[in-house]
Amino acid sequence: MRDVVKWLVALALVLAPVLVFAQVHFYKWTDAAGNTQYSDQPPPKGISYVRIEKELTPEISTSPGASGKSAAETDFEFKRHQQAEAEQQKKEEAREQEADARQAQCQRAQGRLKMFQEGGRLIKLNAEGEREYLGDEEIRDEVAKAQQAVDEVCK
């Protein structure tokens, strides 16, 4: 009986590291909305994905909750992470507003170009505030300026 117990203890000691250092895998893919997804299950068929292997190693600590950082350090890192995320969000919003402004400017430039290309009787105000009709040469110049503006703004 003692020999059996010794063999079981020896077997447990040999297998313990194998069980402790287990390896898991995750799947990463992009859904139809463009969001990155992570899961321990593969995505639906037809969606390409990346399989991520991760070796789980236990964290051994000598005191409860000892991760090498104090609560103040952990809190500081958390707040710093939140601040970085907030700054990233502000940058993203600024980029979106800039893109919207460029789109509006492009639409105005295209509208101006269309107005000059369609022709008709076009007027401008002179220095005295009186209306003057544009001649063919002035219209051609305005079409060229408007086309240049569209080319620059609507990249």
48-58: pLDDT as tens digits: 888 877 666 65
Categorize the per-residue pLDDT at 98 as very low, low, confident or very high, splitting at 50, 70 and 90.
Answer: very high
99-119: pLDDT as tens digits: 999 999 999 989 988 888 887
Q: For the chain, what is the domain count?
A: 1
For residue 37, give its domain range.
Answer: 1-58
Closest by CA position to 57, among listed 32, 34, 23: 23
Q: What is the spatial distance between Cα 129 and Cα 93, in angstroms, rounded to a whole number?
A: 42
Decide if 31 is inside a domain: yes
Least confident of 5-19, 31-45, 123-137: 5-19
Decide if 99 is inside a domain: no
Categorize the per-residue pLDDT at 23 as very low, low, confident or very high, splitting at 50, 70 and 90.
Answer: low
Decide if 9 is inside a domain: yes
pLDDT of residue 48: 82
Q: What is the spatial distance between Cα 124 and Cα 129, in angstroms, rounded to a whole number?
A: 9
Decide if 150 is inside a domain: no
The secondary structure element, H or E, covering residue 1 is none
Decide if 21 is inside a domain: yes
